[in-house]
Amino acid sequence: MTQDNESKDKSSGQPLPEGGPQANALLAAIVESSDDAIISKDLDGTIMSWNAAAERIFGYTPEEIIGHSILTLIPADLQDEEKTIIARLRNGERIEHFETTRVAKSGKLLSLSLTISPVRDASGKVVGASKIARDISERREFERRLVETEKIVATGRMAATIAHEINNPLEAVVNLIYLARLSPTVNDQVKEYLRLAEQEIERVSLIARQTLGYFRETAMPVDFPVSVLLEEVLTVYGAKLAYSGIDVHRDYHPSRPLTMRKGELTQLFSNLVANAIDAMPQGGDLSVSVEPEGESPAEGVNVLMADTGTGISPELLEKIFEPFFTTKEQRGTGIGLWLSRQFVEEHRGSIAVVSNTDAEDHGTTFRIFLPYENGLAQNVAPGGRGNA
């Protein structure tokens, strides 16, 4: 490729402001050191100048590309863009932050943001264009991954809801089969059929739990201290709490272990902590307390989780337990509290909230009451196939 444009200024191709050779050299140096590709072309689309960043981004040396058509850089299916660009430039228009795709020497497609300005001669006539191209491939890739991640998260949460719904009837069927097998009138052949049926249902249940990513415990409930469970959750969120500038205050009164579905209560408290973190982007205080309620032997435990976050206005407070109600747009799915309430009810407990949005005194407190007599101890799965 030869360069036949000796007369053109290789650095910028534009009429430079008055100020003599020193000013020209300064401008040329600025263009050369730019991180963005700076390219100039005439109105026929012939490339006239090409800086170092253009070489880095597109892979052509100035010797290889100057004098050639700008179409070299445009993918075949986008070549019509050039006509539109030239027409707009002839009208003296500037094109800003036009996000498009160009092709490098290696054939690799590049995501670029282009700003193209007309270049005029001394009489003001448009004679060409200068183009600044910023490589946004990385940003595009990042955005693409982000959207993908969000979709996965949203799908995951949806799946969790479905799994939850599927597992309830499945659990019932498993129990019915178990009872049928115990019946003295059932002969060995039928018992064998029932055993196989039970096995298959176990499999469905496992698939639902695994592929739908939500562990709805069909396993045996466990006796576990609520304060220890809270500590486990706070440990998981420890780094995030610290990073968000949130101080955690604990007030654990001794209470005896509760028979619980541990996975469910873990989800419940995790969502409360995650919500509190979201409500305190500028930091704040999270107070967690566990206290026994009622006479001895205590009726149950009260867990209080109080944040000094934004608070929830009375209109929204009515809606927070509704499925898919969220104020977090893309980030939230709005099933956290909805599921939380179901989990609490399965433990025969209750969940209540008070919130304040006053400028002086704002924050939200969730109160969860979990009774010791929750029916789970009798509900131990047949055959004792439980784990902690």
Binding site for Mg ion (CB under 5 A): 271, 275, 336
Q: In angstroms, give the least distance from the CB of 196 to ligand ATP.
A: 38
Q: In angstroms, give the least distance from the CB of 71 to ligand ATP.
A: 48
Q: In angstroms, give the least distance from the CB of 340 to ligand ATP.
A: 7
Q: Quick one: angle between helices 137-182 and 188-211, nearest 10?
A: 160
Q: In angstroms, give the least distance from the CB of 274 to Mg ion.
A: 5
Binding site for ligand ATP (CB under 6 A): 157, 271, 275-276, 279, 307, 309-310, 312, 320, 325-328, 332-338, 364
Distance of alpha carbon 143 from alpha carbon 140, whole angstroms: 5
Long-range CB pairs of 315-319 (<8 Å, 24+ gap) are: 317/353, 317/355
> How many of the other CB atoms lie within 10 Å of CB of 224?
17
Instruction: Please identify, using beta-carbon distances, which residue of 1 and 154 lies nearer to ligand ATP.
Output: 154
> Residue 300 binds which entry of ligand ATP, Mg ion, none, with Cβ cut-offs from 5 to 8 Å by kind?
none
Helix and strand tally (H, E) in the chain?
11, 12
Nearest to Mg ion by Cβ — which residue?
336
**357, burial (CB in 10 Å: exposed 0-12, middle 13-18, buried 19+):** middle
Instruction: Please identify, using beta-carbon distances, which residue of 45 and 336 lies nearer to Mg ion.
Output: 336
> Residue 12 binds which entry of ligand ATP, Mg ion, none, with Cβ cut-offs from 5 to 8 Å by kind?
none
> Residue 209 binds which entry of ligand ATP, Mg ion, none, with Cβ cut-offs from 5 to 8 Å by kind?
none
Q: In angstroms, give the least distance from the CB of 326 to Mg ion.
A: 7
Q: What are the phi and psi torsion angles at 17 (to 5°)?
A: -65, 160
> Residue 8 binds which entry of Mg ion, ligand ATP, none, with Cβ cut-offs from 5 to 8 Å by kind?
none
> Residue 151 binds which entry of Mg ion, ligand ATP, none, with Cβ cut-offs from 5 to 8 Å by kind?
none
SS3 44: coil
Q: Which of 347, 336, 383 is nearest to 157 (CA)?
A: 336
Instruction: Please identify, using beta-carbon distances, which residue of 14 and 275 lies nearer to ligand ATP.
Output: 275
100 close to 78: Cβ distance less than 8 angstroms: yes
SS3 300: strand
Q: In angstroms, give the least distance from the CB of 338 to Mg ion.
A: 10
Distance of alpha carbon 284 from alpha carbon 376, whole angstroms: 37
Q: In angstroms, give the least distance from the CB of 227 to ligand ATP.
A: 20
Nearest to ligand ATP by Cβ — which residue?
336
**37, burial (CB in 10 Å: exposed 0-12, middle 13-18, buried 19+):** buried
> Residue 279 binds which entry of Mg ion, ligand ATP, none, with Cβ cut-offs from 5 to 8 Å by kind?
ligand ATP
Distance of alpha carbon 116 from alpha carbon 81, whole angstroms: 13
Instruction: Please identify, using beta-carbon distances, which residue of 224 and 325 lies nearer to ligand ATP.
Output: 325
Instruction: Please identify, using beta-carbon distances, which residue of 51 and 333 lies nearer to Mg ion.
Output: 333
> How many of the other CB atoms lie within 10 Å of CB of 227?
21
Instruction: Please identify, using beta-carbon distances, which residue of 138 and 315 lies nearer to ligand ATP.
Output: 315
> How many of the other CB atoms lie within 10 Å of CB of 327?
15
Q: In angstroms, give the least distance from the CB of 308 to ligand ATP.
A: 10
Instruction: Please identify, using beta-carbon distances, which residue of 275 and 374 lies nearer to Mg ion.
Output: 275
Distance of alpha carbon 316 from alpha carbon 356, whole angstroms: 12
Instruction: Please identify, using beta-carbon distances, which residue of 49 and 271 lies nearer to Mg ion.
Output: 271
> Residue 276 binds which entry of Mg ion, ligand ATP, none, with Cβ cut-offs from 5 to 8 Å by kind?
ligand ATP
Q: In angstroms, give the least distance from the CB of 323 to Mg ion.
A: 12
Query: Could you tell me the end-to-end alpha-carbon distance of the chain, in angstroms, rounded to an integer?
Result: 73
Instruction: Please identify, using beta-carbon distances, which residue of 19 and 281 lies nearer to ligand ATP.
Output: 281
